Amino acid sequence: MTDLLLAVAHHLVAFSLVAILAAELALCRPGISGGAIDRLARVDAAYGASAAFILAIGISRVIYGLKGAQYYLHNPWFWGKMAALVVVALLSIWPTMSVLRWRGTAHKSPGFIPTEAAIARVRGFIVVEFAFLTVVLICAATMARSNHF
């Protein structure tokens, strides 16, 4: 039963993470200002919280899951998935720092609007995050079908 609950939680949070990232991409658009920057910052914080939650659930699956740590730790697709997740985490730093900077500036200068170039750069990072999340999903599906130990 523990394995099932962990698997369900892992999938629910993974889909939530993708939805939150999509919301972040939708909110981060030219002309964003004031309250929209605050909403974007809250969505970005939710993305970070979801990432932390999925990491905790994933570690729990490795330790307490039915397949056992041996299955995961000796599976090259698991390590491919972990590598892609590290890339996603590193890519998320730039958007987070940018949004926090924008929010701070918007609070000091209520008319502040980030430049289109700055917005395009953040959106570019988010799009590349999506690409690497696709790699994560491919590795996860391949890992689940692998008999490699």
Q: What is the pLDDT of residue 147?
A: 72
For the chain, the domains span 2-144
Q: What is the pLDDT of residue 31?
A: 95
- Residue identified by tokens 């987070």 is 96
Which mean pLDDT values do the consecutive 10-residue runs of the chain (149 residues) have?
Answer: 94 96 97 95 98 96 92 94 97 98 96 97 98 96 79
Q: Do the Cβ atoms of 31 and 79 come closer than 8 Å?
A: no
CA 81 to CA 36: how far, in whole Å? 33
Q: Do the Cβ atoms of 84 and 128 come closer than 8 Å?
A: no
- Side-chain half-sphere CA neighbours of 31 within 13 A: 1
CA distance to 7, 97, 142, 144, per residue, from 3 (Å): 6, 36, 19, 14
